[in-house]
Structure 1
């Protein structure tokens, strides 16, 4: 069940990250989930590094760090995905 939970958390974090970032992120849903999962892993590592990986009750700090990790990875990963695909839709046309 751990993998299913990772997919659900990845989906939620990825969609929240896309909603927070300005503009449109032209990435498919499967990549949104992967970026969300990676953001969760990064957020957990940072939380563990600063000592808030496990607290009593709801771990709001860890969850915020997971979301911040997802936002960072979506922000960096979206242009990389566009460059790999050769997607020119992200850049506006030159009007000279």
Structure 2
């Protein structure tokens, strides 16, 4: 059940990150879920570094979205350099 929950939270975090960050990011549902899951891992790591427990709930979702937004900015930088 935790794997399904991870996919659902990843989708929500990915969708929220794409809605908050301006600009168009042409990626499908699968990449949005991957973005949210990896963003959650990054957000959880950062939360652990600063001493905040983000193992779930609203705090976990906030850090997941922050991690996903960070990854979107990195993705945008990489893709813009490839087009040049």
Shorter-chain TM-score range: 0.7 to 0.9
Tell me, which stretches of 5 or more residues in structure 2 are unaligned? none
Q: Tell me which protein shows more helix as a share of its residues.
A: 2
Count of residues in correspondence between the two structures:
82
Superposition CA RMSD, Å? 2.4
Offset at residue 35 of structure 1 (A): 0.6
Aligned ranges for residues 1-96 of structure 1 at < 5 Å?
1-53=1-53, 58=57, 60=59, 62-78=60-76, 80=78
Contact 2:54 2:63 in 1 (8 A): no
Contact 1:14 1:74 in 2 (8 A): no
| Structure showing greater Rg | 1
TM-score between the two structures when normalised by the length of structure 2: 0.79
